[in-house]
A and B are shown apart, each in its own frame.
Chain A
């Protein structure tokens, strides 16, 4: 029998005992719906978690340092890494090379230094860090008062809440209620700070002078000679970040933040300079470390490997993210098992319906065989009926699952709003899940149809026609 005839017959047979078949189909639909609901909850939660993680800047960042790090120099690295002669300097061309690696969003030098800030003529010694423009999406700046830097070169600062308290002379006693950042902001925003810092100046010898120098070693030392000048820079307070100092991580581990390009242009003397400067033959800036932001946390490993191959040390919190992925894999498996269980129950419904149909349609099967239907025709007809119920149930089930998700999403967001938390979208039904669920329901139905279809095909027509 040809496929259109087969499906036509199957559908008319399904219509014939509509109530029973639709109940069976609803059974499949409920199974599929629970599978879809479970999986899309899992997927949604994972998406939510990884969105959060990416925002935190924890899992998409690789910190690159030179192998000439003081702690390792001459010790571990000589044994494990390349010999000091091969290891390279983390300078501007290297930073650019790293930035050009595939899947790297940006590679920004980690500039941080301790210096004195004067506010209303009172000096405050603190750690200052430079932030690239991209840092404004970091969740460390959620709930910030004021705004982020107006440009990457603007003479502006963002203060960490604890430092703002210090400037206003509010010392927190342990156990006292936390001061709301909104109270700290009005007296400080728009005010000026004066930063006093040491500027290093690299004196580059003209090429001619270099060429005349016969000794390479001494030439480098001579060429990289620098002087230190004391400078002042006025900075405008534009933002107060509502951060708990204990929760600060990575590039945000400082109390005052400057725009990156501004910080670079100031040539502030940094602790590593004394050591690195001796290597800077070409007068390019040299960094003690570079923060590399990658497109996707899953790229971290390959990028780390690539940078290691270039001759640098790298550090990332990849292992933590791997653990997280593992957790979600287990969660998926769990949710999928529960979802599939519901579908398995539904498939028993299919078997039951079809076996009942065989008993009921014994005579019909006998007639079809008497007028020339082959075993295959009968088998295919029952398969088609099972498959049609599966596809119908799958489609209805996906719709139902999606609706359940929407309702839960809606309800939870009402709850979140009552808790004064921002709404979250933690429910996701990707297209592949829709296709997978329908195909899965179809497959399960066909498997459920195996036994009934085989039984119907083997039915003895003489027996089937003997009894009225």
Chain B
């Protein structure tokens, strides 16, 4: 998994640039301004937390960065590429190779085993069949689930499911990890486990992490930067010294 450090942009250059981003929903007569004129630069390798109360537009921003949604106006540039100018096909490729996503509700496919879930992005990416098995095992081992690879999600605890989701998000070695309240459904102990893993990926591989949360304490422990949203607008942007800076586990692996 060394590719992340090799291919990511040099630290400091903006990996994500958001320019006057708007996402409006039309509900009959009323217009819901879920995202309303947000501008933001995120440098490569950063760990950024998006904070705000429920309904403030955090998920909407994250989905726009992920290329799952298109803005009403404004631009999202990832590594210099304007997502608004990509075709649907190109956007799918972008999600496949550049972005890894984890969600509050894990979003594993219930009918598939963990191994099949983790393998799925490689199927879409048309990775060689022969290589896929090994990569799947490796990724599951990385999150400590090698023993559970033939289990279905329903047979696992929330923390285990989220770890599997992380393994799946990272299987195609993306440069961007987007996490939408990844600990929202977990108790604090397993939440910490997940956060440690995310922090590890950020530190070790230089992945750019954007994490949505409404827990300020959690953000302060891990993120280098806190961004506050309210009613779709950017209302605060603070640098933060993560409490768990310089990860204990750094250098332990490999």
Contacts of A461 in B (CB 8 A): 68
Instruction: Report the Cα distance A110→B8, complex, angstroms.
Output: 98
* With known contacts A13-B111, A367-B109, A372–B124 Cβ distance under 8 A: yes
Encode contact with B along A102-141: 1 for CB under 8 Å, 0 otherwise.
0000000000000000000000000000000000000000
With A1-B124, A2-B126, A370-B68: A375-B107 Cβ-Cβ less than 8 Å? no
* Nearest-CB residue, chain B, relative to A15: B111
With both beta carbons as reference points, the residue of chain B lying nearest to A366 in the complex is identified as: B107
Q: What chain B residues lie within 8 Å of A374 (beta carbons)?
A: 88-89, 92-93, 96, 124
With beta carbons under 8 angstroms apart, the residue of A371, A375, A468 that contacts B121 is A371
Residues of A within 8 A of B129 (CB): 4-5
Q: List residues 117-163 of chain B with CB under 8 A from any CB of chain A.
A: 120-121, 123-126, 129
The smallest C-beta distance from B35 to any residue of chain A, in angstroms, reads 12
Q: Is B220 located at the chain interface by the 8 A CB criterion?
A: no
Whole-angstrom distance between the Cβ of B57 and the nearest chain A Cβ: 13
Which of A9, A370, A376, A465: most chain B Cβ within 10 A? A370
Over the window 32-69 of chain B, the binary record of Cβ atoms lying under 8 Å from chain A Cβ atoms (1 yes, 0 no) is: 00000000000000000000000000000001001011
Assess whether B68 is in contact with A371, with CB atoms less than 8 Å apart. no
- Interface size class, chain B: 20 to 34
Q: Is A462 an interface residue (CB 8 A)?
A: yes
Residues on the A chain within 8 Å of B108, using CB = 367
Given the contacts A375-B92, A465-B107, A370 and B126 also touching, CB distance less than 8 Å? no
Question: Secondary structure at chain A's binding surface: helix, strand, loop or mixed?
Answer: helix
Which B71-129 residues have a C-beta within 8 angstroms of A?
A: 88-89, 92-93, 95-97, 99, 101, 103, 105, 107-112, 120-121, 123-126, 129
The reply on A368 being an interface residue by CB < 8 A is yes
Q: Which residue of B lies closest to A363 (CB)?
A: B107
What is the CA–CA distance of A13 and B111 in the complex, to the nearest angstrom? 8
Q: A422–B66 Cα gap in the complex (Å)?
A: 77
A151 to B100, CA, bound (A): 91
Complex alpha-carbon distance, A71 and B126, angstroms:
84
Q: How far is the CA of A386 from the CA of B179 in the complex (A)?
A: 35
Distance in Å from the Cβ of A14 to the closest Cβ of chain B?
A: 11
Do B121 and A372 touch across chains, with their CB atoms under 8 A apart?
yes
Q: Are B168 and A371 in contact (CB under 8 A)?
A: yes
User: How far is B100's CA from A371's CA once the two chains are assembled, in angstroms?
Assistant: 7
Name the one of B89, B107, B125 contacting A370, with C-beta atoms under 8 angstroms: B107
B172 close to chain A: CB less than 8 A = yes
Question: Could you say which of B105, B110, B120 contacts A371, with CB atoms under 8 Å apart?
Answer: B120
- A-B contacts, 24 listed (Cβ < 8 Å): A1-B124, A1-B126, A2-B123, A5-B126, A5-B129, A16-B111, A364-B110, A364-B111, A367-B108, A370-B66, A370-B68, A371-B101, A371-B120, A371-B168, A372-B96, A372-B97, A372-B99, A372-B172, A373-B92, A374-B88, A462-B68, A462-B69, A465-B68, A468-B105
Binding site for B on A (CB under 8 A): 1-2, 4-5, 9, 12-13, 16, 363-364, 366-377, 461-462, 465, 468
Known: A2-B123, A4-B129. 4 other contacts (CB 8 A): A374-B124, A377-B92, A462-B69, A465-B107
